Amino acid sequence: MSEPGKIRSGYAAIAGSANSGKSALINALSCRNISPSYNYRGTTRISISSIYMTETEQVCFIDTPPLDYYEDEELFRNSDVICLTLNSTELSTKLKSPVLRNFINRNRKTPIIFVPTFIDYFPAELHGAFTNQISMSVNYQEIVPVCAPCGQGVSRLRSAILKYIPERGKLFPDGCTSLHSERFLVSEQIRISLFSVLPAEIAATIAVQIEEFSIRDQKRYVRANLHVARHSNKGVVIGRKGAMLQDIADLASKGASRMIERPLYLDLWVKVRESWPENRDDLIEFGYLF
Protein backbone atom coordinates (compact mmCIF):
# COMPACT_ATOMS: atom_id res chain seq x y z
CA MET A 1 0.00 0.00 0.00
CA SER A 2 1.26 3.45 -0.89
CA GLU A 3 1.44 6.11 1.81
CA PRO A 4 -1.32 8.74 1.58
CA GLY A 5 -0.36 11.49 -0.85
CA LYS A 6 2.49 9.50 -2.36
CA ILE A 7 2.79 7.76 -5.71
CA ARG A 8 5.62 6.28 -7.74
CA SER A 9 7.18 9.34 -9.31
CA GLY A 10 10.66 9.79 -10.78
CA TYR A 11 13.08 9.76 -13.67
CA ALA A 12 14.22 7.04 -16.06
CA ALA A 13 17.10 7.80 -18.43
CA ILE A 14 17.31 6.02 -21.78
CA ALA A 15 20.98 5.50 -22.74
CA GLY A 16 22.79 3.65 -25.50
CA SER A 17 24.94 3.90 -28.57
CA ALA A 18 23.85 5.35 -31.91
CA ASN A 19 21.04 3.47 -33.67
CA SER A 20 20.25 1.33 -30.64
CA GLY A 21 16.55 2.28 -30.64
CA LYS A 22 16.48 4.82 -27.79
CA SER A 23 14.10 7.27 -29.43
CA ALA A 24 11.64 4.59 -30.56
CA LEU A 25 11.75 3.24 -27.02
CA ILE A 26 10.91 6.52 -25.27
CA ASN A 27 8.04 7.07 -27.70
CA ALA A 28 6.68 3.60 -26.93
CA LEU A 29 7.17 3.85 -23.16
CA SER A 30 5.52 7.26 -22.87
CA CYS A 31 2.81 6.49 -25.48
CA ARG A 32 3.71 9.74 -27.27
CA ASN A 33 5.58 10.45 -30.51
CA ILE A 34 7.88 13.08 -29.03
CA SER A 35 11.39 12.08 -30.12
CA PRO A 36 12.55 11.79 -33.77
CA SER A 37 13.14 8.09 -34.42
CA TYR A 38 14.88 7.11 -37.66
CA ASN A 39 17.61 4.72 -38.69
CA TYR A 40 20.23 7.40 -39.05
CA ARG A 41 23.17 8.04 -36.77
CA GLY A 42 22.84 10.98 -34.41
CA THR A 43 19.14 11.74 -34.94
CA THR A 44 18.87 12.65 -31.22
CA ARG A 45 21.04 15.73 -30.69
CA ILE A 46 20.09 16.80 -27.16
CA SER A 47 18.18 15.16 -24.32
CA ILE A 48 14.41 14.99 -24.81
CA SER A 49 11.89 14.26 -22.05
CA SER A 50 8.45 12.67 -22.20
CA ILE A 51 6.26 11.99 -19.16
CA TYR A 52 4.13 8.88 -18.71
CA MET A 53 1.37 9.51 -16.18
CA THR A 54 -1.47 7.60 -14.54
CA GLU A 55 -3.35 8.23 -11.29
CA THR A 56 -0.72 6.29 -9.33
CA GLU A 57 2.44 6.61 -11.47
CA GLN A 58 4.60 9.31 -13.01
CA VAL A 59 7.75 8.53 -14.96
CA CYS A 60 9.75 11.15 -16.81
CA PHE A 61 11.61 9.26 -19.56
CA ILE A 62 14.67 11.09 -20.89
CA ASP A 63 16.03 10.21 -24.33
CA THR A 64 19.74 11.01 -24.52
CA PRO A 65 22.19 11.44 -27.42
CA PRO A 66 24.43 8.43 -28.20
CA LEU A 67 27.01 7.47 -25.58
CA ASP A 68 29.57 7.22 -28.37
CA TYR A 69 30.08 10.98 -28.26
CA TYR A 70 27.99 12.35 -25.39
CA GLU A 71 27.38 11.68 -21.74
CA ASP A 72 25.68 13.94 -19.22
CA GLU A 73 27.03 12.37 -16.03
CA GLU A 74 24.86 14.52 -13.78
CA LEU A 75 21.69 13.48 -15.62
CA PHE A 76 22.44 9.79 -15.21
CA ARG A 77 23.59 10.23 -11.62
CA ASN A 78 20.29 11.91 -10.70
CA SER A 79 18.09 9.37 -12.48
CA ASP A 80 16.23 6.74 -10.46
CA VAL A 81 16.89 4.06 -13.08
CA ILE A 82 18.76 3.76 -16.38
CA CYS A 83 17.55 1.77 -19.38
CA LEU A 84 20.63 0.81 -21.39
CA THR A 85 19.64 -0.10 -24.94
CA LEU A 86 21.70 -2.60 -26.93
CA ASN A 87 21.06 -3.37 -30.57
CA SER A 88 20.51 -7.15 -30.49
CA THR A 89 21.88 -7.50 -34.03
CA GLU A 90 25.24 -6.18 -32.73
CA LEU A 91 25.10 -7.56 -29.19
CA SER A 92 28.47 -9.32 -29.06
CA THR A 93 30.33 -6.28 -30.34
CA LYS A 94 28.52 -3.78 -28.11
CA LEU A 95 29.08 -5.80 -24.93
CA LYS A 96 32.84 -5.53 -25.53
CA SER A 97 32.73 -1.79 -26.14
CA PRO A 98 34.97 0.29 -23.81
CA VAL A 99 32.33 3.04 -23.97
CA LEU A 100 29.71 0.66 -22.56
CA ARG A 101 32.06 -0.72 -19.89
CA ASN A 102 33.08 2.75 -18.73
CA PHE A 103 29.46 3.89 -18.62
CA ILE A 104 28.48 0.93 -16.41
CA ASN A 105 31.42 1.51 -14.07
CA ARG A 106 30.60 5.20 -13.65
CA ASN A 107 26.94 4.50 -12.87
CA ARG A 108 27.20 1.61 -10.43
CA LYS A 109 25.03 3.39 -7.87
CA THR A 110 22.06 3.66 -10.25
CA PRO A 111 19.96 0.58 -11.15
CA ILE A 112 20.54 -0.44 -14.78
CA ILE A 113 18.03 -2.36 -16.87
CA PHE A 114 19.55 -3.81 -20.04
CA VAL A 115 17.24 -3.56 -23.02
CA PRO A 116 18.15 -5.62 -26.10
CA THR A 117 16.30 -3.92 -28.98
CA PHE A 118 15.23 -4.96 -32.48
CA ILE A 119 14.39 -8.45 -31.21
CA ASP A 120 11.90 -8.81 -34.06
CA TYR A 121 14.90 -9.73 -36.22
CA PHE A 122 15.11 -13.06 -34.37
CA PRO A 123 12.65 -15.88 -33.58
CA ALA A 124 11.25 -15.89 -30.04
CA GLU A 125 13.20 -19.02 -29.05
CA LEU A 126 16.46 -17.09 -29.41
CA HIS A 127 15.49 -14.22 -27.12
CA GLY A 128 16.67 -16.13 -24.06
CA ALA A 129 20.14 -16.23 -25.60
CA PHE A 130 20.32 -12.43 -25.38
CA THR A 131 19.68 -12.61 -21.64
CA ASN A 132 22.34 -15.28 -21.16
CA GLN A 133 24.90 -13.37 -23.19
CA ILE A 134 24.36 -10.15 -21.23
CA SER A 135 24.25 -11.86 -17.82
CA MET A 136 27.66 -13.45 -18.45
CA SER A 137 29.21 -10.16 -19.54
CA VAL A 138 28.07 -7.33 -17.25
CA ASN A 139 26.37 -6.50 -13.97
CA TYR A 140 22.69 -5.59 -14.18
CA GLN A 141 19.39 -5.37 -12.30
CA GLU A 142 17.13 -6.74 -15.03
CA ILE A 143 17.14 -7.63 -18.73
CA VAL A 144 14.05 -6.94 -20.83
CA PRO A 145 14.21 -7.56 -24.62
CA VAL A 146 11.91 -5.29 -26.64
CA CYS A 147 10.77 -4.35 -30.10
CA ALA A 148 9.58 -0.79 -29.55
CA PRO A 149 7.92 -0.17 -32.96
CA CYS A 150 5.75 -3.28 -32.65
CA GLY A 151 5.22 -2.90 -28.89
CA GLN A 152 6.74 -6.25 -27.93
CA GLY A 153 8.11 -6.17 -24.38
CA VAL A 154 7.23 -2.49 -23.82
CA SER A 155 4.64 -3.06 -21.05
CA ARG A 156 6.97 -5.49 -19.30
CA LEU A 157 9.80 -2.96 -19.45
CA ARG A 158 7.60 -0.17 -18.10
CA SER A 159 6.63 -2.41 -15.16
CA ALA A 160 10.29 -3.23 -14.53
CA ILE A 161 11.18 0.47 -14.53
CA LEU A 162 8.41 1.32 -12.05
CA LYS A 163 9.91 -1.07 -9.50
CA TYR A 164 12.89 1.29 -9.21
CA ILE A 165 10.85 4.50 -9.12
CA PRO A 166 10.45 5.53 -5.46
CA GLU A 167 7.23 6.51 -3.75
CA ARG A 168 7.19 10.23 -3.11
CA GLY A 169 4.98 13.25 -3.64
CA LYS A 170 4.00 14.10 -7.20
CA LEU A 171 6.90 15.62 -9.14
CA PHE A 172 4.85 16.77 -12.11
CA PRO A 173 1.47 18.54 -12.33
CA ASP A 174 -1.47 16.69 -13.85
CA GLY A 175 -1.46 16.90 -17.64
CA CYS A 176 2.24 17.63 -17.89
CA THR A 177 3.71 15.82 -20.92
CA SER A 178 7.33 16.99 -20.93
CA LEU A 179 9.89 19.06 -19.05
CA HIS A 180 10.47 21.02 -22.25
CA SER A 181 8.64 24.13 -23.40
CA GLU A 182 6.03 24.10 -26.16
CA ARG A 183 8.52 26.05 -28.26
CA PHE A 184 11.10 23.26 -28.02
CA LEU A 185 8.55 20.50 -28.62
CA VAL A 186 7.24 22.24 -31.74
CA SER A 187 10.79 22.51 -33.07
CA GLU A 188 11.21 18.76 -32.54
CA GLN A 189 7.95 18.09 -34.39
CA ILE A 190 9.38 20.04 -37.30
CA ARG A 191 12.50 17.86 -37.15
CA ILE A 192 10.36 14.71 -37.11
CA SER A 193 8.58 15.86 -40.26
CA LEU A 194 11.92 16.46 -42.02
CA PHE A 195 12.81 12.79 -41.75
CA SER A 196 9.40 11.80 -43.08
CA VAL A 197 9.81 13.52 -46.46
CA LEU A 198 13.53 14.23 -47.03
CA PRO A 199 16.52 11.93 -47.56
CA ALA A 200 17.88 11.09 -44.09
CA GLU A 201 21.34 12.43 -44.86
CA ILE A 202 19.81 15.86 -45.58
CA ALA A 203 17.26 15.83 -42.74
CA ALA A 204 19.99 14.99 -40.21
CA THR A 205 21.98 18.10 -41.15
CA ILE A 206 19.15 20.63 -40.82
CA ALA A 207 18.94 22.82 -37.73
CA VAL A 208 15.52 24.15 -36.74
CA GLN A 209 15.57 27.64 -35.25
CA ILE A 210 12.30 29.23 -34.13
CA GLU A 211 12.24 33.00 -34.56
CA GLU A 212 8.68 33.77 -33.48
CA PHE A 213 6.36 31.87 -31.16
CA SER A 214 3.21 33.86 -30.54
CA ILE A 215 -0.59 33.68 -30.49
CA ARG A 216 -2.67 35.34 -33.21
CA ASP A 217 -6.46 35.01 -33.51
CA GLN A 218 -6.43 32.19 -30.92
CA LYS A 219 -3.92 30.23 -33.03
CA ARG A 220 -0.32 29.48 -32.21
CA TYR A 221 1.82 31.21 -34.84
CA VAL A 222 5.32 29.87 -35.39
CA ARG A 223 7.93 31.23 -37.75
CA ALA A 224 10.97 28.98 -38.05
CA ASN A 225 14.16 28.83 -40.08
CA LEU A 226 15.47 25.56 -41.47
CA HIS A 227 19.25 25.93 -41.67
CA VAL A 228 20.74 23.56 -44.24
CA ALA A 229 24.42 22.67 -44.09
CA ARG A 230 25.00 22.90 -47.84
CA HIS A 231 23.75 25.34 -50.42
CA SER A 232 22.89 22.45 -52.76
CA ASN A 233 20.40 21.14 -50.18
CA LYS A 234 18.31 24.30 -50.15
CA GLY A 235 16.54 23.51 -53.41
CA VAL A 236 15.81 19.96 -52.26
CA VAL A 237 14.15 21.20 -49.07
CA ILE A 238 12.07 23.80 -50.90
CA GLY A 239 11.14 21.47 -53.77
CA ARG A 240 9.49 22.30 -57.06
CA LYS A 241 7.40 25.45 -56.61
CA GLY A 242 7.75 25.05 -52.84
CA ALA A 243 5.96 21.68 -52.74
CA MET A 244 8.44 19.94 -50.44
CA LEU A 245 8.52 22.81 -47.97
CA GLN A 246 4.72 22.82 -47.91
CA ASP A 247 4.66 19.07 -47.19
CA ILE A 248 7.04 19.63 -44.28
CA ALA A 249 4.90 22.46 -42.93
CA ASP A 250 1.70 20.42 -43.23
CA LEU A 251 3.13 17.40 -41.42
CA ALA A 252 4.75 19.46 -38.68
CA SER A 253 1.63 21.59 -38.15
CA LYS A 254 -0.60 18.53 -37.73
CA GLY A 255 1.79 16.83 -35.31
CA ALA A 256 2.43 19.97 -33.27
CA SER A 257 -1.29 20.90 -33.14
CA ARG A 258 -2.14 17.48 -31.71
CA MET A 259 0.64 17.77 -29.16
CA ILE A 260 -0.11 21.29 -27.87
CA GLU A 261 -3.88 20.81 -28.32
CA ARG A 262 -4.48 24.05 -30.16
CA PRO A 263 -4.49 25.11 -33.84
CA LEU A 264 -1.05 26.03 -35.14
CA TYR A 265 0.08 28.01 -38.16
CA LEU A 266 3.63 27.29 -39.26
CA ASP A 267 5.67 29.64 -41.45
CA LEU A 268 8.90 27.97 -42.63
CA TRP A 269 11.92 29.57 -44.26
CA VAL A 270 15.01 27.81 -45.62
CA LYS A 271 18.42 29.35 -45.03
CA VAL A 272 21.97 28.20 -45.70
CA ARG A 273 24.53 27.88 -42.89
CA GLU A 274 27.42 26.13 -44.59
CA SER A 275 28.89 23.22 -42.60
CA TRP A 276 27.15 24.28 -39.40
CA PRO A 277 27.50 20.81 -37.76
CA GLU A 278 31.29 21.29 -37.78
CA ASN A 279 31.18 24.86 -36.42
CA ARG A 280 31.21 25.19 -32.62
CA ASP A 281 29.66 28.67 -32.64
CA ASP A 282 26.76 27.42 -34.77
CA LEU A 283 26.23 24.42 -32.50
CA ILE A 284 26.05 26.73 -29.50
CA GLU A 285 23.65 29.10 -31.27
CA PHE A 286 21.32 26.23 -32.21
CA GLY A 287 21.40 24.84 -28.67
CA TYR A 288 23.40 21.66 -29.28
CA LEU A 289 26.36 22.72 -27.12
CA PHE A 290 26.35 24.63 -23.84
- pLDDT of res. 45: 67
Lowest mean pLDDT among 138-142, 143-147, 223-227: 138-142
Q: How many domains does the chain have?
A: 2
Does the residue 71 lie in any domain?
A: yes
Domain assignment present for 173: no
Q: Which domain holds residue 44?
A: 7-168
Q: For residue 63, which of 112, 105, 101, 14 has the smallest C-alpha distance?
A: 14
Which CB contacts under 8 angstroms, 24+ apart, belong to 278-284?
Answer: 282/207, 282/227
Does the global pTM surpass 0.85? no
3-class secondary structure, 245: helix
β partners of residue 61:
12, 50
List the 264-272 sheet strands across, edge first: 206-216, 219-228, 264-272
Same domain, 150 and 192: no
Q: Are residues 14 and 139 in the same domain?
A: yes
pLDDT at 47: 84
CATH (domain of 13): 3.40.50.300
Residues 186 and 257 grouped into a single domain: yes
Residue 243's Cβ-count burial label (10 Å; 0-12, 13-18, 19+) is exposed
Q: What is the pLDDT of residue 194?
A: 92
pLDDT at 2 over 70: no
pLDDT in tens, 70-82: 667 888 989 999 9
Q: What is the pLDDT of residue 34?
A: 75
- Residue 92 domain flag: yes
Is pLDDT at 1 greater than 60 in this prediction?
no
Computed on alpha carbons and rounded to an integer, the radius of gyration of the chain in Å comes to: 20
Question: Residue 59 pLDDT > 80, yes or no?
Answer: yes
Q: How many angstroms separate the first and last alpha carbons of the chain?
A: 43
195 and 148 inside one domain: no
Indicate whether 147 and 233 sit together in one domain.
no
